[in-house]
């Protein structure tokens, strides 16, 4: 009889960071459905697609069990986020609420994506890439579904913020920093950079021929 598959352990603190990222990304998906004046079913679909999109692709690439298939919590979080967005009057939601929820999810998911990749034995540079991919892919799916210009095509810093969060976490982990310090620094720095981009319109210079 074959030995059971040994699933690497990811710190409980990082799992909480994962749940936070799922929740805020799901809210961002539901808020976009609200902006588009969609039905409750579409709210839930957008919340789920945004909440699990990046993590699903990450798990498939690193050979991990797809994280939301074997538990109820993930989809319940996404559905709860969609219901909350549906019940809250759109007049109470600030104009840039979508951007701020997305920023929080970006920073959390970039950090957790890299941490999970490292736990599965992925080398540091690909682990960094997995963090960026985890953070960005759900938002890309959300924008494509809503027929919105992809966040990748907007001038303000987005992928750069995810790269800062993932890169700082991986770098500090390699340097031997405690896990909670590496995760806090990575997620915090990524969120601050994205927040400044939202508030001040920071962007990288565009190509000029």
| Tens digits of residue pLDDT in 2-15 | 444 445 656 666 77
The full set of domain ranges for the chain reads: 12-200
- pLDDT at position 76: 96
Name the band, by pLDDT with cuts 50, 70 and 90, for residue 66.
Answer: very high
What number of other Cβ atoms are within 10 A of residue 174's Cβ? 12
Q: Report the pLDDT averaged over residues 98-115.
A: 89
CB 174 within 8 A of CB 124: yes
- pLDDT at position 200: 87
Q: Report the pLDDT averaged over residues 99-103.
A: 84
The first and second tokens of residue 121, run together, are 């034995």
- pLDDT at position 4: 42
What number of other Cβ atoms are within 10 A of residue 99's Cβ? 20
- pLDDT at position 42: 94
- Residue 1, pLDDT above cutoff 50: no
CA distance 157 to 133: 15
Q: Report the pLDDT averaged over residues 63-71.
A: 92
- CA 190, 195, 196, 202 dihedral sign is positive
CA distance 186 to 163: 9
CA distance 169 to 134: 14
Least confident among 14-28, 34-48, 160-174: 14-28
- Residue 184, pLDDT above cutoff 50: yes
Helices (H), the chain: 12-35, 40-62, 73-87, 97-119, 124-145, 159-174, 179-200
């Amino acid at each position: 009889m074959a030995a059971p598959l040994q699933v690497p352990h990811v710190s409980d603190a990082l799992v909480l960071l994962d749940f936070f990222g799922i929740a805020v990304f799901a809210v961002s998906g539901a808020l976009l459905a609200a902006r588009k004046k969609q039905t409750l079913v579409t709210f839930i679909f957008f919340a789920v697609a945004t909440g699990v999109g990046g993590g699903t692709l990450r798990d498939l690439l690193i050979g991990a069990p797809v994280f939301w298939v074997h538990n109820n919590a993930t989809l319940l979080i996404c559905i709860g986020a969609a219901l909350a967005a549906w019940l809250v009057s759109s007049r109470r939601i600030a104009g840039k609420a979508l951007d701020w929820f997305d920023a929080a999810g970006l920073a959390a998911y970039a950090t957790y994506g890299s941490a999970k990749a490292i736990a599965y034995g992925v080398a540091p540079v690909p682990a960094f890439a997995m963090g960026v991919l985890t953070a960005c892919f759900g938002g890309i799916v959300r924008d494509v579904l809503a027929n919105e210009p992809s966040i990748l095509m907007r001038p303000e810093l987005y992928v750069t913020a995810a790269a800062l969060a993932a890169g700082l976490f991986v770098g500090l982990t390699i340097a031997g920093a405690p896990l909670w310090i590496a995760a806090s620094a990575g997620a915090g720095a990524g969120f601050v950079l994205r927040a400044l981009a939202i508030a001040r319109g920071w962007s990288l210079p565009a190509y000029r021929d």
